[in-house]
Amino acid sequence: MSYVLLIVGFILLIKGADFFVDGSSNIARLLRVPPILIGLTIVALGTSSPEATVSIIAAFGGNADVAVGNVVGSNIFNITVVVGLAAFLFPLKVQSETIKKEIPFTMLASIVMLVLMSDIALQGFSSNVLTRSDGIILLLFLSIFMYYVIELGLKSRQNAVPVSSSQNISWGKNIVITLLGLIAIIFGGDLVVDNGTKIAYSLGMSETLVGLTIIAIGTSLPELVTSISAALKKESEIALGNIVGSNIFNILFVLGASSAITPIAVNEKVFIDVVIMIVLTVVLLLFSRTGFRIGKREGVMLAAAYVIYLVYIILRN
């Protein structure tokens, strides 16, 4: 039965992402803001909702390895597989603002996360814990990012061209399409994670490994199908904005909210994965600077990097 529900989850994710991209890109036109901003906010928050749900539930249940591993594993999957496949299907255009501010902000969020969880190395404590105050710090960084995005959106509206009536884009229809897509993405992601985890545990995988692989990949499927759908529709700004925004939300919102609700113990094994996540973010920044696009070659290299990482963590655990 788990295998059947897993397939149902995949179908919901794929159809939900299709609706979500169509609706959100039309809302961007109605709001007269660049699609990259919709990708960074509405789409990113929507596709990060499975990570938020899983990590908060895991934190409450005392499964700290799953809560932290889910966020780190999802971000690594997003940078490598999601960007890689989307770029392979259709080269992703990169806005100068994304290179100068948004990707560096992702890097900053990753470094802040690493510093906050390094209690043994930096403060000489007996264990590494993301405390409630650490969670509040992460949420404060999120508020800075949201302020930047809102300010950028308001500026861009002043120079935008209004949507003409001939384009036949209505508010009501696109809000409904976007919400239906989001509901299908969340519900589908939940089915994939629940049943994928049951299958993984039955195969004898450890909690840390399940968090970094099965759950991380499962909760990143909304980003994957949304970005691929956006790339195929040539909405490359939404595709890349979704990844950058999702990674920021995963660290600052998902981990911030989870640790603000209940302190989270951090497994020492995860530190290597956090460093890998930071290195991959630097690689993404370097690739983005080559002609303001991420092409097929870079896409293949990023996807290959995930295969190497996957082999490493399976052998390590």
pLDDT of residue 211: 76
Share of the chain above pLDDT 90, in %: 24
CATH node for 2-156+175-316: 1.20.1420.30
What was the pLDDT predicted at 292?
A: 73
Using 50, 70 and 90 to split pLDDT, how confident is the model at 162?
A: low
What is the enclosing helix (H) or strand (E) of 30?
helix 2-31
pLDDT confidence of residue 165: 46
Work out the mean pLDDT of the chain and round it to a whole number: 82
Report, as an integer, the average pLDDT of 171-197: 81
Question: Residue 307: which pLDDT band, with cuts at 50, 70 and 90?
Answer: very high
Pairing of strands 129-130, 264-265: antiparallel
Render pLDDT for 214-226 as a digit per residue (tens, 0 to 9).
Answer: 778 877 877 888 8
pLDDT for the residue 110: 95
pLDDT reported for residue 167: 55
| Domain edges within the chain | 2-156+175-316
Would you state the pLDDT for residue 166?
A: 41
Candidates 57, 190, 68, 46; CA nearest to 138 is 68
Cα 304 to Cα 298: distance, rounded to the nearest angstrom: 10
Pick the more confident residue, 107 or 165. 107
pLDDT of residue 178: 86
For the whole prediction, is pTM greater than 0.85?
no
Q: What is the pLDDT of residue 256?
A: 92
Quote the CA–CA distance of 196 and 182 in Å, as a whole number. Answer: 21
Highest-confidence range of 91-95, 130-134, 224-228, by mean pLDDT? 130-134
3-state SS string for 254-297: HHHHHHHHCCEECCCCHHHHHHHHHHHHHHHHHHHCCCCEECHH
Task: Pull the structure tokens for residue 7.
Answer: 């397939």
Measured between alpha carbons, how far is 232 from 152 in angstroms, rounded to an integer? 26
- pLDDT, mean of residues 198-213: 76
Report the range of poorest mean pLDDT among 8-22, 157-171, 212-226: 157-171
The pLDDT score that the predictor gives to residue 317 is 67
Asked if 92 and 86 count as a contact pair (C-beta separation under 8 A), the reply is yes
- Percent of the chain whose predicted confidence (pLDDT) is above 70: 94
